[in-house]
Copies of this chain bind each other. A is one copy, B any other.
């Protein structure tokens, strides 16, 4: 019995010592996920689900092929019910909510989930979300919170169980401290991680100063930009994967088929248009991407794993 007490005392001392060490050097997100610190972890994440049937169909196809492993959904968009129904019947899939405050197309548009009168600063003269935000667009953060709460609540009500939150066009990350605070408040209230990448801290210093110690920060993010010529698409991704840094990276991609619906929906400009999305689909469902993941020893992780990771330091 004495012996046991002694052992317990020794054990507690050792545990306290470990805890002190751990507190002085918090585990990285990669370690929290159970990987060695220099592991290369990747979320292959499709954006914009719900916008059109074409986006939904291509994204589902890519998710079911297994090489794309996460996605996020735009609740105010017309085809949200289709993807909500799919999410409900596929609870194992890693679906987040792509919180939406703009309606950036011309021939297909959407408006608020909240009552229009409650969120007037977010709307144009026809009660759609603004096409874009300019310095003259005065966005009321309280209205942003009302609208986004309505989007999240509709998603839950229609059977979606989101694993994470992120922001369409990065509006909540890049518009100022106040909107970023709204995003974090929602993340805390619904107990969901909100997508923030350490890459963005230099451009938006309020991100680092606003985040709390319990908030998730992804290390890096990669996305193809308009400067990449169509014929260089695969090369861009190949180089990005070969140069992938240790840590958690989110690869943000945009899937759809280059079909009549998607061509009509995006015909005013090529950026993030039908052909762009078909190129993404072709690369991320093709054999080369899988081969690169294997050759570069890249492990896929999901937002669900991030949300459920043990948070012990």
Contact = CB atoms under 8 A, between A and B. Distances in A.
A265 B154 CA distance: 20
Nearest to A78: B78
Interface in A108-142: 108-110, 113-118, 125-127
A130 to B, nearest CB: 14
Interface residues of A, number: 36
Interface stretch (A14-22, A50-58, A224-232, A277-285): A50-58
Interface stretch (A2-10, A189-197, A256-264): A256-264
Contacts of A260: 53-54, 57, 257, 259, 261
A108 B261 CA distance: 14
Contacts of A259: 259-261
B52 A126 contact: no
Contact of A108 (B53, B115, B154): B53
B53 A261 contact: yes
Given A114-B116, A117-B115, A260-B54, A108 B125 contact: no
Within the oligomer, what is the number of copies of this chain?
2
A1 interface: no
Given A54-B261, A260-B259, A261-B52, A127 B154 contact: yes
16 contacts: A53-B261, A53-B264, A54-B260, A56-B264, A57-B264, A78-B108, A79-B107, A81-B109, A82-B107, A82-B108, A85-B106, A114-B116, A115-B116, A115-B117, A259-B259, A261-B261
